Chain A
Amino acid sequence: MSQHLPILPILIPMIGGLLLLLPPFTGPEKYQFRRVASILLIVLQLVCAVVLLQNVSYGGAIMYAVGDWQPPFGIILYVDLLAALLVCLTSFLGLGILLYSLAGDDREGKYFHPLIHFQLLGIYGAFLTNDLFNLFVFFEVLLIASYTLLIHGGGKQKTAANVHYVILNLIGSSLFLFALGTLYGTLGTLNIADMSLRVSQISESEQLIAQAGASLLLIVFGLKAAMLPMHFWLPNVYGVASAPVAALFAIMTKVGVYCIFRVYTVIFGEQAGNLSNIVEPWIWPLAILSIIVGTIGALASPNLRALIGNLVIVSVGTLLITFAIRTPEATAAGLLYLIHSTLITGALFLLADLLGQQRGKAFDYFVVARKIGQQKVAGICFLIAAMAVAGLPPFSGFLSKLVILQSAIGTAEKVWVWSVLLLSSLMAIIALSRAGTTLFWRYTTPTKENEETNASNWQLAGVFVLLTASPLLVLFGAPLIQLTSDAAAQLHDLPLLIEVMNFNGDMP
């Protein structure tokens, strides 16, 4: 059993999701069954991910050949600390959003729970795979689940946003395939480890073609990650999606960032000869511009969800900066920031919905509206989330941003990273305090007919689960930084990857 552990995070949501489509889980009156099964499934995934993480951190990276077809030919899963950590993070986020959705979001359509599990399946697969074509397949799995989840519940706004989202991502998928064809034509393989060996051996004329393929891939990953010129879809899509879906999408941009880290560190990294670090000069300005544009967007947002969407763009820019520094220390810092920002933006999306439901028609727009029913609980949650996301001590945002600032070396890097990060944090504080004051302190005098619309305990539980992660990340900061440093060291350690893949002896 234990040697099949790496594939379990993919199998559990796949089989579980399929079972959820069959009796006794079908039918509108059977929703209680679906809920129980869905929560059991996510807990199972979380346990599985934690065991996997433990195995990897004690026993080193694992290679799993599906159907025992050995690399470089078969479908290979490769679990290192980075992948295991991200799988863990995803399932934890999944638990939070499923708890929140039990309040009623899951009953707007029949297939909410199966779709969530298919989406999780795609995300796990994208993290675990070591084959570029397989990555494409898992991208499609997570995309088609996200298309349907986005439109879940229906409504004009959702349809309009979904049309843009689907068309954009279909063009992205085409570009992905073009890039794969180009890379396969020049390198003759799509196994990431094998590609990293071959990329330094190709001829001068083929290097140009491979470079074109690599740049195309950057566009695709940039679109998924909402990197600057491709970020226009994000605030709109995240703004209209129902709260649990938007919170789950918080991890989707991170999938794009993860792919940038993986592909451009392993394949086009230090060892790639003339092709080494080919995208780095592009990433620097794009990352900084992403932060600037995201910050301006956050200041200009008319409602809380758009504000959070723009903060997602800021976090993507910050992650890209840690990529562009190109040291294992910076990667480790980025990983810590990734964990923090995923959980906190997820919590913020849930919180925006929770607040909006208590403000009647105004929802989460920054206008004077009726008073929020649960001022204390919601207010404390919002304060914690806002302080964490802006990077104020004592929460996780402060810690992770501090580590990123420390990882910048060289005067030019320091000047850019310090000034951009700190200024954007200041702007985020301004935007969030404006949001908080309007949402909590400016309300109309209550009339008697206002019925109480308190948040259900499920909603509060979901928000609490995700929010408690922030102080915990700080409390267990030292072991966590150790873990992310190990993960980053593993990512940059190519000989280890080659060794795990058994490429040493019989390379063609």
Chain B
Amino acid sequence: METLYVICVGVVTFCGVFLCLRGRTFSVVVGLTLLSYAVNLFLFSSGRLHLDGAAILGMSEKYADPLPQALVLTAIVIGFAMIAFVVILSMRARADLGNDFVDGREPPDDEKLLKPRRGRL
């Protein structure tokens, strides 16, 4: 179970980081969302993974650490609010700046830059 869990968290983190490095706000927002999912899973596992364990003492033979569950709950709420904010912000940026690039301007078009020089040569 641990191996599967680790691979899942790793893949989600990888995708999140990859998307965060893209140039357009949409993919960055999706990347941030994936990253926050990965971090919630990771935080949850910091109390070790248990099957059939209640978080309350005396309710079952085995018990799970309740603190990471509380931490994850807080982190989910905060993460959700932040994602909502960044979605609204990127829509505002799209309206204000006229494009959806993170830098607020389109990257220079390589072909257009190079062609006249070649022509002169």
Are A and B co-members of a single complex?
A: yes
On A, residues with C-beta under 8 Å from B are: 133, 137, 140, 144, 147, 151, 154-156, 159-160, 162-164, 166-167, 170-171, 173-174, 177-178, 180-182, 184-185, 190
Residues on B with C-beta less than 8 A from A181 are 39, 42-43, 45-46, 68
Known: A160-B93, A160-B97. 5 other contacts (CB 8 A): A147-B85, A159-B92, A163-B102, A177-B43, A181-B39
**Interface status of B56 (Cβ within 8 A of chain A):** no
Q: Which of B36, B71, B97 has the most CB of A within 10 A?
A: B71
What range describes how many residues of B lie at the interface?
A: 35 or more
5 residue pairs A–B, Cβ–Cβ below 8 Å: A137-B74, A144-B85, A170-B35, A170-B86, A181-B46
Measured between beta carbons, the chain A residues less than 8 angstroms from B28 are: 167
Inside 8 A of A159's CB, which chain B residues have their CB?
89, 92-93, 96-97, 104
Kindly state the separation between the CA atoms of A181 and B44 in the bound complex, as whole angstroms: 8
Q: Assess whether B82 is interfacial by the CB under 8 Å rule.
A: yes
Please, what's the 1-or-0 string for B10-42, where 1 marks a CB less than 8 Å from any CB in chain A?
Answer: 000000100010000100100010011011101
B residues in contact with A174, CB < 8 Å: 16, 32, 35-36, 38-39
- Tell me how many residue pairs across A and B have CB atoms closer than 8 Å: 91
Q: How far is the CA of A314 from the CA of B78 in the complex (A)?
A: 32
The distance from the CB of B73 to the nearest CB of chain A, in whole angstroms, is 11
Flag if B90 contacts A163 (CB, 8 Å). yes
Residues from chain A with a CB closer than 8 A to the CB of B67 are: 184, 190
Counting from the closest, the 6 A-B pairs by CB-CB distance are A160-B104, A185-B46, A181-B46, A181-B43, A177-B39, A159-B96
Q: Does B75 contact A (CB under 8 A)?
A: yes
A133 CA / B103 CA spacing, docked (Å): 32
Q: What residues of chain A lie closer than 8 Å to B16, measured between beta carbons?
A: 174
Chain A residues, Cβ within 8 Å of B36: 170, 174
Q: A160-B97, A163-B90 are in contact. Are A170 and B39 (CB under 8 A)?
A: no
List residues of chain B with CB within 8 A of the CB of A173: 78-79, 82
Instruction: Tell me the minimal C-beta distance from B62 to chain A in angstroms.
Output: 17
Which of chain A's residues have a CB closer than 8 A to the CB of B59? Answer: none
Residues of B within 8 A of A144 (CB): 81-82, 85
B66 CB to closest chain A CB (Å) equals 11
Instruction: State in angstroms the CA–CA spacing of A153 and B23 once bound together.
Output: 26
A151 to B46, CA, bound (A): 36
Expressed in whole angstroms, the minimum distance between the Cβ of A60 and any Cβ of chain B is 30
- Residues of B near A180 (CB, < 8 A) are 43, 46, 71
The answer, among B47, B81, B89, for a CB contact under 8 Å with A163, is B89
CA distance A162 to B91 in the complex (A): 12
Q: Which of B20, B71, B93, B104 contacts A133 (CB 8 A)?
A: B71
Structural contact, A166 and B74, CB atoms closer than 8 A: no
Q: Give min CB distance, A146 to chain B, whole Å.
A: 12
What is the CA–CA distance of A348 and B35 in the complex, to the nearest angstrom? 38
Measured between beta carbons, the chain B residues less than 8 angstroms from A190 are: 67
Contact A178 B39 (CB under 8 A): yes
